[in-house]
Amino acid sequence: MVPKAFVQYLVHFHGDRDYFECHEILEDYWKEVDPGNKNSIWVGFIQLAVSSYHYRRGNLSGALRTLEKAYSILESQRQNCHNLGIDHTLILRLLEEQRYKISAKIPYKSVTIPINDQSLLNLCKQECKKQGVIWGEGSNLENTKLIHKHSLRDRTDVILEREKELKKRKKRQ
């Protein structure tokens, strides 16, 4: 059974192309099921989404750096990829192609994670339909809210939490 978080990751990756949301979903899941394991398959997929986010924004050095991390992790995850319905050979080939394109400064183009489990693919397509997005549609490069999401989001809760933790540390000193 594929975790719901991974299904949502795939839906965002291939539907609305919200790579930032992909990162958020899988990071929360990873922290829940495999916290601290930097070689977790979840970290590999998180890095793939982060790389795609950077590549689309034109941050080629960031895209390449995170893609290398994704490759390093996913390369050692043959069985886990298979268990998730992902074609291990093809995902590594995809990452190699992305590495070449980024290095050659070829403009960003949306990619598809190779899913070889038909029931997972059908589930993802159904979920896209429910959410009103089209599975496999290319990224809308005019959507600046999506492309620059990390810098446009409301971070009030994060800032307040950091201030709260800082106050706690100062009290302990």
Question: What is the spatial distance between Cα 142 and Cα 166, in angstroms, rounded to a whole number?
Answer: 39
13 closest CA partner among 67, 47, 39, 52: 52
Considering the chain, what percentage of its residues have pLDDT values greater than 70? 90
What's the number of domains the chain is made of?
A: 1
10-41 per-residue burial string, b: 16 or more CB within 10 A, e: under 16:
bbbbbbbbbbbbbbbbbbebbeeeeeeeeebb
Judge whether 52 lies within some domain: yes
On the question of pLDDT at 79 being above 90, the answer is yes
pLDDT band at 160 (very low <50, low <70, confident <90, very high): low
Expressed as residue numbers, the domain containing 105 is 4-139
Judge whether 144 lies within some domain: no
Please list the alpha-helical segments (H only) found in 3-87.
4-11, 19-33, 41-57, 60-75, 78-84
Query: Which residue is associated with the tokens 């005019």?
Result: 142
CA dihedral of residues 61, 9, 160, 32 (deg, nearest 10): -110
Judge whether 40 lies within some domain: yes
The pTM of the full predicted model, rounded to 2 decimals, is 0.85
